[in-house]
Structures are given as structure tokens and as C-alpha cells.
Amino acid sequence: MSAPEMLRPPQDVPQPVLQVRDLSVLFPARRGGVAVRAVERLSFDIAPGQTLGLVGQSGSGKTTAGRAILQLQKADGGSVRLLGRELTTMRAGELRRMRRHMQFVQQNPYSSLHPRLTIGQVLSEPLQVHRAVPANRMRERVAELLELVNLDPAMMRRYPHEFSGGQRQRVVIARALAVNPDFLVCDEPVSALDVRTQAQIVALLQSLQERLKLSYLFIAHDLAIVREMAHRVAVMFRGRIVEMGTADQVYESPGHPYTRLLLDAVPVPDPALQRERLRRAPPDMRFLEGDGGGCIFGLDHAGAGTAEWHELAEGHGVSCRYWPQKAASAPGHI
């Protein structure tokens, strides 16, 4: 079974808002260096009102994938269709009009707001660029956006430095919602916040999704937050998706050794269970960097060829050349 077939949701899911097929991004070599394939043949769908959680270690290609989907990073191959329209071949003017339907929630609220603009000016900018509302309704719309993210409209006169991190991230979310998009890429939207504020922002995103029927690509490394947010989860390693399924499938029955390593890295309050996890883990992580002769996870048993997709359950698959005959005995399997 091919990867694009494996990565589609079950057949009863509505027509997807976003369809990604074989998306690849190559960073060319500089000054005699080696070219880096940051994203390789990503394929997945996101249904209306649903969230796909994209998880993996730093450097796995998550943010590059999100930027390539939004056409902020040039892709070297593949297809990205939003609302049935192909983005990768659009001309600049047409793509600019499509940006009303797709927006970006950045990771760091401390650097993503212009320090010399008031909050009102920050929220007015996308409305002006896309001519979303008449000039005489601009102030009213800004007030609506602030109320939408549970901020006092009177705050529109203030500057970013007068806000806490959580309040700034609410402003970033309000800016993304200004032009009524259908799809948001949320790139580590809570990683710069304390635990209590993280919970508040996650609850806000969930509430907005239900109220506005939004679809999210939620990029994160915190597996607990992804499970709270995502309907489906894709695990990335070295530019590829190695496992995908519903949140319950991936968390309760992880099929790939890398997924299991990620889950075992999450701290638990039970000291005995934590010690058992450490005992079962591989002695070091050096095998993650190996070539593996075709297995992108770098397992010694992989042999030559490209890792294939194997269906574990409906909508749940892994990329492992020897699944299930030999994968269960590989380093990292529990």
C-alpha cells in the first residue's frame, strides 16, 4: 500500500480542507556542504473542523513542512490543495487572495508582534491588506477580535510590552483570525508559555475551532498537549512521517519504535514506572543517526530499499521495512 493511501483518513470523513501529497523540501548545499532534504514525500489530509497533530524531535522538519504548506517556503515537489485548489502552482496575485483562507500562529509571542505598533494597529493590518472590512468598521472589527480571544477591547490602545506572554499569544491568534480563515498552522503555539497559560491557550484554540469550524495543523513536541488537541497524529522523523493514526491509536498502540521512544520520554509521576521505562530504553540514541541502508529510522536490520507503509488498523499505519516480522525485536521496541 502506498503512503498517500495509508495517510488518508477513513472513508466516512468529509471532503478534506487540506490535501498534501508527496510534499518535499530540499535545502541546497552551500560552500561545499551537503544538501539537506528537510521534508520528504509528506502526504496527509485534514478534514473540516479537525486537527492533525504533527510531532517529532527538533530538526525533524515539522516547521519547514508547515511553512511549505502555507507557501512561505518553496517546495521542491508535491502537491498542496486547500479547499480543492492547488497552491504550489498559483500565481502571486491568486495566492495572495488565497491567504485569507490560511493563516499562521507563530511560536514565540514575544517576537511575533511589532513592538512599535499598538494592538489595534497589529489587528488592523491584515484587515487593511485583504480589504476585509470597510474603513469605518475597522475599530469595531478589532474590538470583536479581542473579545473573541477573551481580551478587553480597551486594550487595543496598548503596546505589546504591556501584555503578558499569554495575552500576547491571544493577540497573535486574534490576528490570524482577522480575515476569517478556514485553516490555521499552529507552530508550537504554547511552547513559550508556562503550564497554566498553556492550558488556557489550548482551551481557547479548542473553543475557537468548535465555534468557527476551523481546521488546524498543530505542530508541537509536547505529546501531552498534542493528545489534548489533535484528532489525528502524524509522527515525523528525519523529514518523513513514520506513523500516523487517530490520537488514541498512536498513543495507546504505538507501532513504530521512534513513537514509543517519544512516548517513553514523557515524564510520569510514578518513579517505578519511570525506572522501568529507562530500563527498557536503548542504551544510547546513536542508532538514530545511522543510515540504516534505506530505513530512515537507522535500524541495523533494515537492509536496502525504502521503508514501506503497513496498516495496523483502519487509518493507522507505520513506515517500517520489516513490520511486523522483525520490527518488534528492533532497538527501542518494548
Cell numbers found for residue 123: 489587528
For 213-237, give one letter per residue: b (16+ CB within 10 A) or e: ebbbbbbbbebebbbbbbbbbbbbb
More confident residue, 10 or 222: 222
Cell numbers found for residue 60: 525533524
Pinpoint the alpha helices (H) of the chain.
Answer: 3-6, 62-69, 92-98, 119-129, 138-148, 165-177, 195-212, 223-229, 247-252, 257-264, 271-280
User: What pLDDT, in 10s, does the model give residues 25-46?
Assistant: 999 877 777 788 899 999 999 9
pLDDT for 12 equals 56
pLDDT, averaged across the chain:
84
CA 67 vs CA 70, 104, 116, 185, 307: distances in Å: 5, 9, 26, 8, 26
> Mean pLDDT across the stretch 191-202?
92
Judge whether 208 and 148 are in contact, CB under 8 Å: yes
Q: How far is CA 42 from the centre of its chain?
A: 12
More confident residue, 132 or 11: 132
Architecture of domain 3-252: 3-Layer(aba) Sandwich (3.40)
Task: Give the predicted TM-score (pTM) of the model.
Answer: 0.85
> Mean pLDDT across the stretch 184-213?
94
User: What pLDDT, in 10s, does the model give residues 51-95?
Assistant: 999 999 888 999 999 999 999 999 999 999 999 999 999 999 999
User: What pLDDT, in 10s, does the model give residues 239-298?
Assistant: 999 999 999 999 999 988 888 888 887 777 777 876 776 666 554 444 444 444 445 555
Q: Kindly list the domain boundaries of the chain, sorted by start residue.
A: 3-252, 253-334
pLDDT for 321 equals 64
**317 φ, ψ to 5°?**
-145, 165
Query: Is the pLDDT assigned to residue 50 strictly greater than 80?
Result: yes
Query: Can you give the length of the chain in residues?
Result: 334
Q: Give the C-alpha separation, 192 to 108, whole Å.
A: 6
